[in-house]
Amino acid sequence: MDRMFTTIASRCAHAMGQPAAFIFSTLLVVLWAAAGPVFHYSDTWQLVVNTATTVLTFLAVFLIQNSQNRDGAAIQAKLDEILRSLDKARDQFVGIEHLTDAQICEIRDALETDIKNANANGASADASVEQLLDRH
């Protein structure tokens, strides 16, 4: 089931991102608008486009989120492999995407402070970042 949904989500997300999909959608809206006078701009005429856009948007959210989740996980795995392969990289950074937003911001702020201090002093001050990584 998971493989089938992944395949469908990937294909749909790819198709929705193509210029042809935008052109097709634009043409449908133009046709709907042109049909307005024929249907005397009735409630049913409005309901057709409102229902269609709501349902399609609702479904597209799940497909796009699935694709983004998969892409994000793949990028994290690639970055983790790069960190693992570099001698000077800190292995504690592997998996920090599982921390809370506040914890990640704390580590990022400490890194920025260390970089500023290293540039000002000409030396690295990695201790505070190391402490944060070890704590989390």
Assess contact for 12 and 63: CB atoms under 8 A: yes
Q: What is the mean pLDDT of residues 18-23?
A: 96
The span from the CA of 104 to the CA of 89, in Å, is 17
Q: What is the mean pLDDT of residues 84-92?
A: 85
The span from the CA of 131 to the CA of 71, in Å, is 30
Domain ranges in the chain are 1-89, 90-136
Name the pTM for this structure. Answer: 0.62
51 SS3 class: helix
At residue 122, the pLDDT reads 58
Give the model confidence (pLDDT) of 47-67 as tens digits: 999 999 999 999 999 988 988
Q: What is the mean pLDDT of the chain?
A: 87
Give the model confidence (pLDDT) of 108-132 as tens digits: 888 888 888 877 765 555 557 777 7
